[in-house]
């Protein structure tokens, strides 16, 4: 069977679905029914979803949960989280309640600088290029004025432009390295538009620069694009308390728990195999809030993991210490987020999530998101250093296993009661279902 098609994007949604189910599925009727099952009955809302991306055939749902009781800088939040993984929302909620009674989370935005680059090739003397840039730097900013004037009125805009020589890595390779302040906007379109204007100015002004040879005048722009690595768009989140307040587990003393916890963080700081999983747990909390608020979690992930590798070795994003009887757990993390533009004014649930958070500014959202990551990591490390990760996680995963085996409501009630006092494993649940049914 021929599975290729031309003109797919020009088909209606119904025509796309008909071709897909007839070509790729053994039971076309069931496949079509499932796709339509996830359509929204509100045609206007469905059209909005259909226009977010190309070639839409249905909606893909994720649960939207809420973790309440987050005390951040003396203000209480209920944090929305869009995620499919069991135990994440429960763990965040538990950590929030734990720290609520111990003064809550303290946060601060350290900086909000974002970065974009024009990558270009110049086959000439670097000293001449430096002279050229010094003479024309102001022209780059002036030419971008139509793009930046509205941002400047709000206090943002272009912060600086630098010429960077990268010829030691690639022959003739240079950059215009620009920094921006985009306020409450994530700013991707703004930054990219400015960079493309810089590239036009670069090529035009090079043609008019008298000391360039004819070859030097022909600067080749390779690309103009923002960077998702934002090491100077940083937020800090922290919790601390007296050691004796630390544990709720009677099987381990507060002092022992604190010491084990700090050692667990120390291990993640020097062992990449552990650090990756350690940071993945942080991102469970961060991604869930980023997604719920209509931000780009792929960009956040890429930037965060680059930051975790900034010393040349991948390392923990969180840190912990015991000093003068005080336990402190903290994190500094790069987060480029926005609360205006993009999906924030289009997706109804994004608007709801932002209203739930009190219509935060981008800086406030950075702090909320960082706290979600810190709380998630605290919950994971507390489990790892006491009961083990599986006890709590598998109990939360129990419902997924029961749903896989299409357990009835009566079966779920009996099996949930059974596993309150028994270890949850996949095989144990399967055996319990079989015993119940036979």
Alpha helices in 162-271 (DSSP H): 188-208, 214-217, 254-270
Residue in 280, 319, 321, 418 annotated catalytic: 280
Q: Is 434 a catalytic residue?
A: no
Residue in 13, 85, 245, 332 annotated catalytic: 85
What is the number of other CB atoms lying within 10 angstroms of the CB of residue 411? 16
Q: Is 245 a catalytic residue?
A: no
> Six-digit token pair at 325?
């009887």
How many whole angstroms separate alpha carbon 309 and alpha carbon 316? 9
Residue in 296, 347, 364, 397 annotated catalytic: 296
What is the number of other CB atoms lying within 10 angstroms of the CB of residue 386? 17
Instruction: Please report the sign of the dihedral spanned by the C-alpha atoms of residue 40, residue 46, residue 52, residue 58.
Output: positive
How many whole angstroms separate alpha carbon 54 and alpha carbon 34? 20
Q: Which residues pair with 240 in a beta bridge?
A: 328
Instruction: Report phi then psi at 328, rounded to 5.
Output: -130, 135
Q: Is 13 a catalytic residue?
A: no
How many whole angstroms separate alpha carbon 300 and alpha carbon 105? 21
In what order do the strands lie in the sheet containing 234-242?
106-109, 234-242, 326-334, 318-323
How many whole angstroms separate alpha carbon 209 and alpha carbon 221? 17
What number of CA atoms fall less than 13 Å from residue 189's CA on the CB side?
6
> Six-digit token pair at 412?
């779920």
Residue in 16, 119, 347, 393 annotated catalytic: 393
CA 235 to chain centre: 14
Of 330, 347, 320, 308, the closest CA to residue 80 belongs to: 347
What number of CA atoms fall less than 13 Å from residue 76's CA on the CB side?
6
For residues 156-190, one letter each, b for 16 or more C-beta atoms within 10 angstroms of the residue's C-beta and e for the rest, the string is bbbeebebeeeeeeeeebbebbbbbbbbbbbbbeb
How many whole angstroms separate alpha carbon 69 and alpha carbon 104? 9
How many whole angstroms separate alpha carbon 115 and alpha carbon 225? 9
List the Cα angle 262/268/271 in 5-degree steps.
Answer: 135
Of 385, 353, 352, 228, the closest CA to residue 288 belongs to: 353
Q: Is 319 a catalytic residue?
A: no
Query: Active-site positions?
Result: 85, 280, 296, 393
């Amino acid at each position: 069977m021929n599975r290729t098609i031309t003109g797919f994007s020009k088909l209606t949604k119904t025509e796309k679905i008909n071709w897909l189910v007839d070509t790729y599925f053994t039971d076309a009727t069931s496949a079509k029914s499932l796709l339509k099952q996830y359509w929204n009955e509100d045609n206007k809302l469905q059209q909005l979803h259909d226009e977010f991306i190309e070639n839409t055939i249905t909606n893909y749902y994720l649960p939207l949960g809420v973790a309440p009781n987050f005390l951040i800088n003396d203000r209480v939040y209920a944090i929305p989280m869009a995620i499919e993984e069991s135990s994440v929302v429960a763990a965040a909620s538990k950590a929030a309640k734990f720290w609520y009674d111990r003064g809550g989370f303290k946060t601060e935005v350290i900086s909000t600088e974002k970065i974009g680059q024009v990558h270009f090739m110049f086959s000439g003397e670097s000293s001449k290029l430096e002279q050229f840039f010094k003479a024309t730097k102001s022209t780059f900013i002036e030419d971008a004025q139509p793009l930046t004037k509205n941002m400047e009125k709000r206090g943002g805009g272009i912060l600086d432009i630098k010429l960077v020589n990268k010829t030691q890595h690639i022959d003739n390779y240079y950059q215009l390295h620009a920094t921006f302040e985009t306020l409450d906007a994530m700013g991707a379109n703004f930054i990219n538009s400015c960079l493309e204007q810089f590239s036009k100015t670069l090529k035009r002004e090079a043609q008019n620069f008298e000391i360039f040879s004819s070859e030097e005048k022909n600067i080749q722009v390779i690309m103009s694009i923002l960077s998702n690595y934002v090491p100077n768009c940083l937020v800090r989140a922290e919790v601390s308390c007296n050691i004796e307040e630390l544990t709720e587990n009677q099987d381990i003393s507060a002092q022992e728990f604190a010491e084990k916890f700090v050692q667990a963080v120390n291990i993640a700081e020097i062992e990449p195999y552990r650090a990756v999983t350690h940071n993945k747990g942080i991102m469970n909390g961060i991604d869930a809030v980023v997604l719920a608020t209509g931000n780009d979690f792929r960009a956040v992930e890429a930037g965060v993991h680059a930051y975790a590798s900034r010393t040349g070795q991948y390392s923990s994003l969180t840190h912990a210490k015991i000093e003068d009887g005080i336990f402190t757990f903290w994190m500094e993390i790069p987060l480029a987020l926005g609360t205006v533009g993009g999906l924030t004014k289009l997706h109804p649930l994004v608007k709801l999530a932002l209203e739930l958070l009190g219509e935060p500014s981008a800086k406030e959202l950075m702090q909320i998101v960082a706290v979600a990551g810190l709380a998630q990591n605290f919950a994971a490390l507390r489990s790892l250093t006491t009961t083990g990760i599986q006890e709590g996680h598998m109990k939360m995963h129990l419902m997924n296993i029961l749903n896989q085996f299409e357990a009835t409501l009566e079966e779920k009630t009996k099996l949930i009661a059974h596993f309150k006092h028994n270890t949850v494993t996949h095989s144990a649940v399967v055996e319990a279902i079989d015993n119940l049914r036979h």
